């Protein structure tokens, strides 16, 4: 039986890149409202307890499971050993809290957290940096596999793996047994890519899914006025599925028809003062039930 499980990221309640967004919201409210909205999984946010026993107890009380957590690699700019040491610590924490997926994103030269125009200042890797990245990810993937975990790569706006061509290069030069793709609708649409094209080409490598919608007028404004990524977030460029311009029905259909098994994660970094997190979590849950039958 094909199993798709639904999770939601804490980024709608409290933002790791912009701690002032939702800074007053406690961890307990975040996970309680996730459960109340009808989700069974969560990714890890900056307010989550660092002790696996404490986190596991809080999650179990609410019927939640950790499905993944962001990992920042620096394979293009630092010695491999630095990233490896951080990765092993991250892997072991995730394993202890029940996750079996790790979502890595290369942060060498990334501008996603900087006050720079997200398109004009986007980094481009050299051939040597690509070689370091792909070889390093294969090694990290082997470390994940030691614990029966799957390493996935999270393409992201403002980084060296953002466009379709860059995703293709990454996938073509890494081992399918060691590295999967974390497919994120929002980052593809924001980047101006074809999300269905990427989905269809790499469906067999997709091992984790982020469902993020986008407000098209704000994206156009971000391009024209040369916003940084974080300014675009604060202005509300992203939202939950069913509230923006992305048609998720063919995405859901492709994933289900391909026999995808794993997590679908609602992820929409918003200002909780403008977009009530519980209200938007419920909206996303209802939309997925209506459009995907899940």
Domains of the chain: 4-292 (3.20.20.150)
pTM recorded for the entire structure: 0.97
Compute the Cα dihedral for 126, 130, 133, 136 and give only its sign. Answer: negative
Confidence of residue 15 (pLDDT cuts 50, 70, 90): confident
d(C-alpha 137, C-alpha 73), whole Å: 9
Task: Determine the pLDDT at residue 115.
Answer: 94
> Residue 97 in 3-state DSSP?
coil
Distance CA 137, CA 76 (A): 11
SS3 240: coil
Bridge-based pairing state of the strands 213-214 and 150-154: unpaired
Say yes or no to pLDDT of 2 above 70: no
Give, for 105, the enclosing helix (H) or strand (E). strand 101-106
202: closest CA among 152, 167, 248, 156?
167
- Quote the tokens at residue 14: 């409290």
Q: What is the pLDDT of residue 18?
A: 76
What are 193-243's pLDDT values in tens digits?
999 999 999 999 999 999 999 999 999 999 999 999 999 999 999 999 999
Indicate whether 19 pLDDT > 90.
no
pLDDT at residue 269, rounded to an integer: 87
Calculate what percentage of the chain has a pLDDT beyond 90. 92
């Amino acid at each position: 039986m094909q199993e798709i499980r639904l999770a939601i990221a804490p980024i709608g309640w409290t933002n790791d890149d912009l701690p002032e967004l939702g800074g007053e919201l406690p961890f307990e409210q975040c996970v309680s409202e996730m459960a109340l909205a009808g989700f069974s999984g969560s990714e890890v946010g900056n307010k989550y307890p660092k002790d696996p026993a404490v986190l596991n107890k809080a999650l179990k009380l609410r019927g939640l499971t950790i499905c993944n957590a962001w990992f920042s690699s620096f394979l293009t700019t630092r010695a491999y050993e630095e990233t490896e040491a951080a990765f092993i610590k991250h892997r072991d924490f995730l394993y202890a809290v029940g996750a079996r997926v790790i979502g890595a994103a290369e942060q060498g030269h990334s501008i996603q957290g900087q006050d720079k125009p997200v398109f004009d200042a986007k980094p481009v890797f050299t051939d040597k940096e690509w070689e370091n990245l792909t070889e390093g990810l294969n090694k990290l993937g082997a470390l994940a596999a030691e614990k029966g975990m799957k390493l996935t790569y999270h393409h992201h706006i403002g980084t060296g793996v953002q466009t379709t061509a860059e995703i293709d290069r990454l996938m073509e030069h890494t081992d399918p047994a060691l590295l999967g793709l974390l497919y994120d609708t929002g980052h593809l649409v924001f980047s101006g890519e074809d999300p269905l094209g990427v989905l269809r080409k790499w469906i067999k490598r997709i091992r984790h899914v982020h469902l993020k919608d986008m407000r098209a007028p704000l994206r156009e404004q971000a391009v024209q006025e040369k916003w940084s990524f974080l300014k675009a977030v604060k202005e509300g460029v992203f939202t939950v599925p069913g509230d923006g311009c992305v048609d998720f029905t063919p995405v859901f259909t492709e994933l289900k028809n391909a026999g995808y098994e794993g997590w679908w994660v609602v992820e929409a970094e918003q200002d909780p003062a403008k977009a009530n997190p519980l209200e938007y979590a419920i909206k996303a849950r209802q939309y997925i039930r209506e459009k995907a039958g899940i």
